[in-house]
Amino acid sequence: MIIIDEEKIFDIIETRKPVSVALNGPDGLLPKVQDLALRIGKNMEFQPIFLQILPGAPVI
């Protein structure tokens, strides 16, 4: 079972103070990643970008 370490993600965001954050994850975790993106948006001063890589799509 894969667990998203949300505490570590929030710690990194608070430490580095980025202007934006992009989130991505495997198909099975997409609902959890989307929920995490919503929580980040509520707690931070910016809206995160949620990326979904389609199977077979080239990654640059």
b/e per residue 8-33 (b: at least 16 CB within 10 A): ebeeebeeeeeeebebebeeeeeeeb
How far, in Å, are 5, 22, 60 from residue 46 at the CA level? 20, 11, 25
Alpha helices in 1-60 (DSSP H): 6-16, 30-43
Q: What is the model's pLDDT at position 45? A: 78
Domain boundary assignment for the chain? 1-10+21-53
Predicted model pTM: 0.72
15-57 per-position pLDDT tens digit: 998 888 888 888 888 889 889 988 888 888 777 776 666 666 5
